[in-house]
Amino acid sequence: MPKKEEFVLKDSAPELIKASGVEPKGRSYDAAYERKPGAVRIEDLLLGTKLACVAITDDEPGTLAKVGKMNPWHIETLSMICGSVEEAHKPLTHILETHFGLTVDKFMNLNGWSGGHPIDTQGFIAHNDDIIVVSFRCTTSAMDWMTNFAATSSEWEPDEDLDQGHSGFCSCLEGRMWGTNKPRVHTGFYNNILQTIPIFEEFVDPLLGPDQPPRTLYVVGHSLGAGMSTMATIYFLEKFDWKTLPQKYVNISAGTPRSCKKAMADKMEEKLAELRPLDKAVVCRVVRDEDLVAKVPPRYVHIGKLVFLTEDGEVLVGPKLDDDHIIDEGEMKALCKDNPQLAAVEEAAKEEEVRERGVGDGKEELTSYEKMMKKIPGTLRDHCPDYYLGPLVKLYNRDLE
């Protein structure tokens, strides 16, 4: 089965790069790059995504069952992580201890209103001798959707806003009508992180310092939780001098909504440019093919390195997602028609794919869950956590071979 899309990457066939007429950008994931400082590593991607996914549950009886009635992909995902449906429904404390070797320090459960802004943040903080984890839960409630759609922006000024616990009643105007014009972020996410920072100060900040073990701090999330992980990333990168700390910072976000204005994104990228060569910080957002959430809200931007999961399940690092760098089937046929050398390369690639998949195996019977998921539009289906986890598991297992 031919690829539906071909990306023009640095490791693409020279014939494709030449025929496309554009400068290649990004590459297919390559384990050889893992040794480079600040590199994206499959171990981090997979661990971070798993830790983001398990935040959907907690220690309360029946939490996953309740969520799974309307969102069965969460049960599917935790079953993949835990090895069985039965294990997936066990308390989160058990899951973290048994499958990750982690001890829970704090369950986060913040909800209500603060200064007229909706607050609804869940997740957990955990650690062991090697890592510290802050994981945020994805969208599960009406209050969560209110946070998602609170698309006005506010100045990032936690030192001023923490005492009152919110950004202010007219924060969307502050810095525009009056004030100092500081870098801005998504108002909904910002107000939720303001409520969360005191928890960080109690349970995470004491584990970061020159007198603490050289652990890695993983801040992770999926969907709404991914947006919250971006806010937490700004907090941790702003507050601590990672150049001198023995600890390392890793942010893995999956299906991340945009949450920063350009000035804030530029500020964070400057910090990351200093920390990556020292192997002190890795910030990457994982995006699955057509996932709509990763493209909203408008007039905001992302931070960090893009890790793109294609429809065919390939894992690409830093590709450019414009029409010039993505060649669809029709465009590929036209390019091959005009470039015989490219046509020969494509034919050889198809033959190799047939050999790898095997001939005459027939189509595998789809499960009832898979049949249901096929009916969901790609823009929504590609946001589901199992669609993120699957390609990463496959890549990790391939690298182990």
- pLDDT at residue number 34: 83
Show the tokens assigned to 108: 């986060």
Q: Please enumerate in sequence order all residues whose Cβ is within 8 A of that of 298, keeping only pairs 6 or more positions apart, or say none.
A: 258
Q: Looking at the chain, how many residues does it have?
A: 401
Show the tokens assigned to 92: 């989160």
CA distance 227 to 224: 5
Report how far apart the first and last C-alpha atoms of the chain are (Å, whole number). 24
CA distance 228 to 69: 25
Cβ contact 134:199 at 8 Å: no
User: Consecutive 10-residue runs of the chain (401 residues): their mean pLDDT?
Assistant: 78 93 95 90 97 98 95 97 98 98 98 90 97 92 51 92 86 60 93 97 96 97 97 98 97 97 98 97 97 94 97 95 92 90 85 63 79 95 97 92 68
CA distance 356 to 127: 41
Phi, psi of 305 (to 5 degrees): -80, 135
- pLDDT at residue number 348: 85
- pLDDT at residue number 168: 81
Helix axes 187-203, 142-149, angle to 10 degrees: 110
Show the tokens assigned to 297: 């809200």
Radius of gyration of the chain (CA): 22
For the four alpha carbons of 98, 386, 283 and 22, in that order, the dihedral sign comes to positive
User: Which pTM was predicted?
Assistant: 0.93
Q: State which H helix or E strand residue 144 sits in.
A: helix 142-149
For the four alpha carbons of 165, 168, 171 and 176, in that order, the dihedral sign comes to negative
Tokens 């790898």 identify what position? 356
Q: Give the β-pairing of 281-288 and 305-309.
A: parallel
Q: Please enumerate in sequence order all residues whose Cβ is within 8 A of that of 252, keeping only pairs 6 or more positions apart, or say none.
A: 44, 45, 47, 48, 49, 51, 52, 218, 219, 220, 229, 284, 286
CA distance 327 to 329: 7
Cβ contact 136:229 at 8 Å: yes
CA distance 266 to 358: 48
Q: Please enumerate in sequence order all residues whose Cβ is within 8 A of that of 296, keeping only pairs 6 or more positions apart, or say none.
A: 257, 258
